[in-house]
Structure 1
Amino acid sequence: MPHRFRSLRTSALAAIGALALSGCFSLGAKPPPFLLTLDPDAAPAAGTARTAADAATLTILIPTAPQKLRTTRIPVQQDGASVAYVKDAQWVEAPSRLFQRLLSETVAARTNRVVLDEGQYLTAPGEQLAGQLMEFGVDARTNEAVVVYQAMLVNSGGKTVTQRRFEAREPIGSAVEAKPAGEALTRAANSIAGEVADWLGGA
């Protein structure tokens, strides 16, 4: 058998094998029809400028989150022991980062504080708002979107720590689907952000 013919036969067999495998395996997950994000109800007006001493600034840190929230999907708590995810529902980025940004926008709009994020706080951190995003999903038992945020406010000297727990629930409706779940979570997140801003405004 000529060498050239053997090479062509080998290439043809490889191509047939690749086609057969493509029927069994997918090279990538099917993308969702759309991506979800959190839009703040309140945001600073364009051109707003504020000046503060180092101790008067507030740095809002990205909250920690349990394993079920370290994903861009929306968890559904079926019962006390099992978790599923809403079909075709996916955030544009991790919910802890989206929630931190929404908090920053809301606090900056509703208080007189100069709000910094983690990329800026090394220069003048001032007070720091840390915490844990404990719940950010759907409770299938009540058909509600649930957001639970455990906030921790640390003063500029790091000597005083104040904790406060915030929780909000919003009805979803009869069917747990991507768009209504995302909208309900956005309402719940904005409700908590407003409560946090009121708390910090009086702190």
Structure 2
Amino acid sequence: MTVRSFANKLLVVAALVPLAGCIRFGAAPPPSLLTIAPQAQPAPGAMQNSAGARAIVVQAPAVPQSISGTRVPVQVTPTSIAYVKNAQWAEPPARLLARLLADTLTARANMVVLSPAQAFEDPSATLSGELRSFGLDATQRQAVVIYDASLVPAGRTNVEKRRFEARVPVTAVDADQAGVAISQAANQVATQVADWVAAQR
């Protein structure tokens, strides 16, 4: 290697060093991730048996594209959506709601929540649906959770449908308000769903 070619390589490396601090692959992670705090959940060590209690399968709901990921949507106008700055769920809303529904149905409705594979051996109801909203409404200053539930009672083929909705006021559209308020709204919806399912025979 000649002295000149070595010097040229040094110049190329030196030119790239300042750029190293500017390159970022993907968005920077937020300071913390949001999740849902269940207000009703099974007691530690509590035993369940589908032979003596009603069983149900809880499926993750279908979702629109706006809440299929982990960002928190905010309705800016009736026809436009943005996302809350520095707000991100630990996992997609569909999984968060399905887990919350399972815990609430177990604790509040005394139901045994089964996986689809377990349900083959045990007659059970099936709860599915569509999560229509799981975010903030800036025009109303509210956290909004809307869930269209579909219930197939155990041993039947008919489908019963019902919409559940909860709104919780927020004083600011930010990550701190979003996590707390959406968690409260989601728990209200889960409670309504559990009471509805428990009343079905």
TM-score scaled to structure 2, two decimals? 0.90
Q: Does structure 1 residue 79 correspond to structure 2 residue 77?
A: yes
The offset of 1:159, in angstroms, is 1.1
Aligned residues: 200
1:47 corresponds to which of 37, 40, 45: 45
How has the CA–CA distance of structure 1 residues 58 and 12 changed in structure 2, closer, same or farther, with 3 Å as cutoff?
A: same
The offset of 1:57, in angstroms, is 1.5
Gaps in structure 2 of 5+ consecutive residues: none
Identity of paired residues, percent? 45
The offset of 1:200, in angstroms, is 1.0
The offset of 1:178, in angstroms, is 0.2
Q: Does structure 1 residue 185 correspond to structure 2 residue 182?
A: yes
The offset of 1:8, in angstroms, is 3.5
The offset of 1:28, in angstroms, is 3.8
Q: Which one-letter code corresponds to 1:58 in the other structure?
A: I
Q: In 1, Cα distance between the equivalents of 2:177 and 2:116?
A: 31
The offset of 1:103, in angstroms, is 0.8
Gaps in structure 1 of 5+ consecutive residues: none
How has the CA–CA distance of structure 1 residues 62 and 121 changed in structure 2, closer, same or farther, with 3 Å as cutoff?
A: farther
Contact 1:146/1:167, CA 8 A, preserved across alignment: yes
Contact 1:77/1:84, CA 8 A, preserved across alignment: yes
Q: In 1, Cα distance between the equivalents of 2:17 and 2:121?
A: 56
Which residue matches 1:16? Answer: 14
Please tell me the root mean square deviation across aligned C-alpha atoms, in Å. 2.3
Q: In 2, Cα distance between the equivalents of 1:96 and 1:21?
A: 39
Contact 2:123/2:155, CA 8 A, preserved across alignment: no
How has the CA–CA distance of structure 1 residues 119 and 72 changed in structure 2, closer, same or farther, with 3 Å as cutoff?
A: farther
How has the CA–CA distance of structure 1 residues 19 and 187 changed in structure 2, closer, same or farther, with 3 Å as cutoff?
A: same
Moved over 6 A (4+): none
The offset of 1:136, in angstroms, is 0.5
TM-score scaled to structure 1, two decimals? 0.89
SS in structure 2 of the partner of residue 78 of structure 1? strand
Q: In 2, Cα distance between the equivalents of 1:117 and 1:7?
A: 66
Deviates more, 1:36-45 or 1:150-159: 150-159
How has the CA–CA distance of structure 1 residues 153 and 48 changed in structure 2, closer, same or farther, with 3 Å as cutoff?
A: same
1:127 corresponds to which of 125, 129, 135: 125
Contact 2:53/2:112, CA 8 A, preserved across alignment: no
Contact 1:70/1:94, CA 8 A, preserved across alignment: yes
Which residue matches 2:194? Answer: 197
